[in-house]
Structure 1
Amino acid sequence: MLAGFDIVIVVLAVVVLLVLFAGVKTVPQGYNYTVERFGRYTRTLSPGLNLIVPFIDRIGAKMNMMEQVLDVPTQEIITRDNAIVAVDGVAFYQVLNAPQAAYQVAGLQNAILNLTMTNIRTVMGSMDLDELLSNRDTINERLLRVVDEAAHPWGIKVTRVEIKDINPPANLVESMARQMMAERDKRAQILTAEGLKQSQILEAEGRREAAFRDAEARERAAEAEARATQVVSEAISKGDLQALNYFVAQKYTEALAKIGSATNSKVVLMPMEASSLIGTLGGIGEITKEVFGNGGSGGGAPRQPGARPPVVRSTDT
């Protein structure tokens, strides 16, 4: 049997072991523990092996220092244009100061959740429905700035606030779809009208350019005709009648060429007085020989290949 002294030694050894176990604290990675002495915060234990005063100090709060995700439940929001939409989201936050997060607010996650939901209603309620559906990045940025500033005294950092879903009522979605189709039909009609207008403008410009070129061609032809007439007039004024005869013969030749260019037979009825003018055509060859020399072939009106010569008949007037 153990003696009394031995029992005391064993008891003291057990007490020492209990004291050591009570004073040694192991903090896992990603956590910070607060230490309270008689209920008052004294210091913060970092990850690893730490020692505290047994039976005097105790662990107060075990704070998760890693970034955490907080799901924001669905809530109904009334927009500025009185549209009711269902909105939900998600928030990311991280504890930077364990004592502040532990002792500045009661129920940290619940506080962040309510703060986020309240600011979602405030920010999105000040916007129209079209702005909500098209400006999610702007909404997320405003929410992040407001919520992070409000949660800063709690020793946390709100890293992100995201709106997941915006669900308008079904009748409102149908109205928006009809509005979108009307807008697209309007744009299509505008584009069609613009294309028709442009084509009409181009067509009018083409007609103007063609008319301008036709007028220019007629003007130049008239100038050439006037120049030829002037040359003939000058020749006549100088007493050269062969130029006049050549000019008249050329006109007769051109007229008969046009008449004889048809493939079918033609009968031309002319007055008796005009037959004497036709008789002068017999002298065209002689006039041509006198003007151009004898190098040319015999006189006569040119005839198109395959064309039959016209038959000229004189009638009494």
Structure 2
Amino acid sequence: MPFTGLDIIIPVLVILVLLVLFTGIKTVGQGYNYTVERFGRYTKTLTPGLNLIIPFIDRIGAKMNMMEQVLDVPTQEVITRDNAIVAVDGVAFFQVLNAPQAAYQITNLQNAILNLTMTNIRSVMGSMDLDELLSNRDTINDRLLRIVDEAASPWGIKMTRVEIKDINPPANLVDSMARQMMAERTKRAQILEAEGLKQAQVLEAEGRKEAAFRDAEARERAAEAEARATQVVSEAIAKGDVQALNYFVALKYTEAMAKIGSANNSKVVLLPIEAASLIGSLGGIGAIAQEVFRNEGTAGAQRQAARPPVVRPDQG
């Protein structure tokens, strides 16, 4: 059976229709958005999944990555407010929130974000002193994030984080900082040592003061006791008791001789001529003791005689 022209045209038309249909079917991967342009003008955005466009009229414009992305900030030199030169590098994190704005509001989005971040790093860190720069890294990160995010918001992106990785001062500046830190630590150590010495001297002075006060109090009490003893002896002499005076003199003489004999450098003790009076005084002491014992014996006998007789049962 011979083929006619219609038999050939029909399969060709079917194949063309299928090709056209496949051309209008677009599959978008997860984490991406595609922009659609009709005759060069943006019309809509294709989301992840299966989408249909008009073949030969609509076309895919830009394929935008909607996931969070990381951008390395290369090392650059920054001059601080106190004219110190430091080498700084960092990292920036951003995410596209609006695919049409990111595609049509800026050319070369990543390069724009990179230059914007580097410029603001120089501005923010250049307005700070070196010491403030090294100790306030979190503050720098917060300021950079706020400034860069505000500047990039018209591009349909969100800056999630801007982090400074390394701040490297020159080698000579590092050595100067190390010497300064050592001098500061030495200064603090000397201050602490001086404070400790001061406290020790204060405590020692307080101890001497307390000891002197106690010594004075002891001397005062000894003087009071001496005055009391002298008063007692004086009263005894006034009553006609000469033995009390002899006892008092002998006691003082004995104490003086004991001190002379206990000296470390005294090998031979020479008694003065007046030592004979010491013997007389000792005799007075003996007389006083005999008189006391005799008075006590007499008093005991009188008490014994005054007691009533005891009658035993066997004598009744």
- Normalising by structure 2, we get a TM-score of 0.85
- Displacement of 1:56 after TM fit? 1.6
Where does residue 19 of structure 1 map in the other structure?
20
* Cα distance in 2, alignment partners of residues 53 and 289 from structure 1: 149
Could you list the per-position Cα deviations for residues 89-120 of structure 1 after superposition, in whole angstroms to 9, with x for gaps in the alignment? 11111111111111111111011001000000
- Displacement of 1:220 after TM fit? 1.6
Where does residue 208 of structure 1 map in the other structure?
209
* Cα distance in 1, alignment partners of residues 56 and 235 from structure 2: 141
Which consecutive unaligned segments of at least 5 residues does structure 1 have?
296-317
* Cα distance in 2, alignment partners of residues 248 and 169 from structure 1: 92
1:141 aligns with 2:147: no
Matches within 5 A, 1:184-223: 184-223=185-224
Code of the aligned partner of 1:139: I
- Displacement of 1:65 after TM fit? 0.8
The 1:98/1:214 distance shift into structure 2, 3 A limit, reads same
Code of the aligned partner of 1:132: L
RMSD over aligned Cα atoms:
2.3
Code of the aligned partner of 2:9: V
* Cα distance in 1, alignment partners of residues 199 and 218 from structure 2: 28
- Displacement of 1:292 after TM fit? 6.0
Where does residue 9 of structure 1 map in the other structure?
10
- Displacement of 1:254 after TM fit? 3.3
- Secondary structure of 2:271's counterpart equals strand
Alignment: residue pair count: 294
Contact 2:102 2:155 in 1 (8 A): yes
Where does residue 87 of structure 1 map in the other structure?
88
Could you list the per-position Cα deviations for residues 17-65 of structure 1 after superposition, in whole angstroms to 9, with x for gaps in the alignment? 1122111111111111111222222221111111112222111111111
More helix by percentage: 2
Q: Say which is worse superposed, 217-226 or 228-237, in terms of deviation.
A: 228-237
The 1:250/1:24 distance shift into structure 2, 3 A limit, reads same
- Displacement of 1:262 after TM fit? 7.0
- Displacement of 1:197 after TM fit? 1.8
1:233 aligns with 2:234: yes
Q: Say which is worse superposed, 190-199 or 67-76, in terms of deviation.
A: 190-199
Where does residue 40 of structure 1 map in the other structure?
41
* Cα distance in 1, alignment partners of residues 263 and 179 from structure 2: 68
Where does residue 151 of structure 1 map in the other structure?
152
- Displacement of 1:130 after TM fit? 1.5
* Cα distance in 1, alignment partners of residues 217 and 277 from structure 2: 39
* Cα distance in 1, alignment partners of residues 210 and 68 from structure 2: 75
Match of 2:270 among 268, 271, 281: 268
Code of the aligned partner of 1:268: L
Which consecutive unaligned segments of at least 5 residues does structure 2 have?
297-316
The 1:289/1:251 distance shift into structure 2, 3 A limit, reads farther
The 1:187/1:265 distance shift into structure 2, 3 A limit, reads closer
The 1:290/1:260 distance shift into structure 2, 3 A limit, reads farther
- Secondary structure of 1:106's counterpart equals coil
Contact 2:243 2:285 in 1 (8 A): no
The 1:160/1:72 distance shift into structure 2, 3 A limit, reads same
The 1:227/1:20 distance shift into structure 2, 3 A limit, reads farther
Identity of aligned residues (%): 83
* Cα distance in 1, alignment partners of residues 96 and 294 from structure 2: 119
* Cα distance in 2, alignment partners of residues 293 and 260 from structure 1: 35
